[in-house]
Structure 1
Amino acid sequence: MIPTPLRSLLLGGLLAAVTLPAMLAQADQPHARLDVQAEAQLDVVPDRATLSARLWERTPALAYSDEQTDPDALRQARDQLEQRATALIQALEEAGVARDDLSAGSLNVQPEYVPAPRRGDEESELLMRTRVERPFQVRVDDLERLPRLLDALTAAGVNALDAISYDLADRTAATDEALVMALEKARHKAELMARTLNVSLGPVATISETRSPVYMPRMMAMSADARESTGQVEYRPGTIVIEAGVSVSWEIEN
């Protein structure tokens, strides 16, 4: 006959042997999940702009040859360009542009090939000249000042007003807001589905981005009318679109 203490010990071990596999089997069973994908779009009004302009000078067009451009002509074109650049910078500073908001690019020198005027039936001769160019960028934090600055650039005699790039002073805040909107939309969809199907949402199991918030400044090309305007043209920045997408999974509690 088995003593009582030993019999209790054997019975406890047998129950543990039976219960442990059942618990492990239950733990291995995957939980039912509710998977949701959501996308959000945020329209933001720009609060910053960048003006792009260029100045250039050209040397006289001469008959094409393998020789380099006349150094004196090139020096004269470069000196004239620098004088115009200095006048442009002064005009912008007088218009209220801070030194840190004005960027003058590097000098760019490149050859240009143009046909000479034709004389009767003779073939047109190829001429070469050198173009000396310098780009400028002006950052504008107050969009109300944009027409005045465009007038200043035009009055300074820029050769090209290339474009206006509309931007945001705080890009991170805007992209964060778009991501939050996508997550809130995902949660709303999950709660709606759970309520409709009469189930309860458990903890979040997985979260991932399906579309990272992408931010692209909005470009507006300058038309001929805008370049020749005297402040009568309206410049509407429109909106910048930021899109974000997420995928979220919730465990379902019965």
Structure 2
Amino acid sequence: MTMQLHTLTAAALILATLGAAPGRAQPVPSPQQWQQQSAITVIGEAQKSVPPDIAQVEAGVSNMAKTARAAAEANNNAMGKVLLELRNAGIDAKDIQTSRLSIQPQYASNRSGPSEITGYLASNLVTVHARDIARVAGLVDTLVVAGANEIRGISFRVANSSKVLDDVRTEAIADARRKAEIYARAAGVTLGAPLVISEDASPGVAPMRKMATSFDAGAPVAAGQETLSVTVMVSWAIKAP
């Protein structure tokens, strides 16, 4: 996040006092009023890149047939073989989840009249969670050999992102303090305690990257790194002079 919001409300308070109606003495703010009304507000940012430890592979089987029932039966048989091979490869049942199941009519293009149904396409897609990144390439091979003719993509994520984000939050607050101290020194004031700390509504991991949408057996897979980031807005009190 590149937006910078830096305000010295103490200056606004002084200007408001000087710009009041002439000839009328204005009360000098008490130390308590300075403490409540004067603040330096800054943005603090931090991020950390870590290797992912979970991969998600979306794959499945599609079958065409003249009737919906025939397409469904062929699809059920083909998907059954894929699921069996996944379990034989050591993938737990809890790590396999159906993500799409459909049967759709297929039409022939007919410009002179109504489109005609030529058959039915049955599709069954599952999302497979691989908790060992080193096994992803082998998992793709298993899917292809078992008969999967659709591999939609691979995405990666960090399983224990909360712990990493907590460390990044600490660094973001430190970044905010560093910036606030720079402004305080430049303005000739002393930084007090933080009054408000607000975190960006969507901290976390950068969107999971997806690989290409089609693979051959033996396709290389590169997991790369995931970047976790936090942005905070902190208002620091200015100590009374």
**Other structure's SS at 1:221 match:** coil
Q: Among 104, 107, 123, which residue is 2:101 paired with? A: 107
Q: Among 227, 236, 241, which residue is 2:222 paired with? A: 236
Q: Distance in 2 between matches of 1:223 and 1:109?
A: 21
Check the 8 A contact 2:104/2:122 in 1, yes or no: yes
Deviations 1:159-211 (A, max 9, x none): 21001011111232233333322111111222344455554322222222345
Tell me which residue corresponds to 2:51. 45
**Other structure's SS at 2:73 match:** helix
Q: Cα–Cα, structure 1 residues 223 and 104, in superposed 2: closer, same or farther, change >3 Å? A: closer
Q: CA RMSD in A?
A: 2.9
**Superposition pairs for residues 1-254 of structure 1, below 5 Å?**
26=30, 29-31=33-35, 32-60=38-66, 73-105=67-99, 107-115=101-109, 126-195=116-185, 199-210=189-200, 212-224=202-214, 227-228=215-216, 230-231=217-218, 233-253=219-239, 254=241
Give the superposition deviation at 1:106: 5.5
TM-score by length of 2: 0.75
Deviations 1:219-238 (A, max 9, x none): 323354xx12x32x431122
Deviations 1:50-103 (A, max 9, x none): 10012121123xxxxxxxxxxxx3323222221111111111112121111112
**Other structure's SS at 1:220 match:** coil
125-134 or 190-199, which deviates more: 190-199
Give ranges in structure 1 of 5+ residues lacking alignment: 1-22, 61-72, 117-121
Q: Cα–Cα, structure 1 residues 155 and 199, in superposed 2: closer, same or farther, change >3 Å? A: same
Bigger-Rg structure (1/2): 1
**Other structure's SS at 1:147 match:** helix
Give ranges in structure 2 of 5+ residues lacking alignment: 1-26
The percentage of aligned residue pairs carrying the same residue is: 27
Check the 8 A contact 2:39/2:236 in 1, yes or no: yes
Check the 8 A contact 2:198/2:232 in 1, yes or no: yes
Check the 8 A contact 1:179/1:213 in 2, yes or no: no
Instruction: Say how many residue pairs are matched.
Output: 211
Q: Cα–Cα, structure 1 residues 131 and 198, in superposed 2: closer, same or farther, change >3 Å? A: same
Code of the aligned partner of 2:51: V
**Other structure's SS at 1:107 match:** strand
Code of the aligned partner of 2:226: I
Q: Cα–Cα, structure 1 residues 48 and 160, in superposed 2: closer, same or farther, change >3 Å? A: same
TM-score by length of 1: 0.71
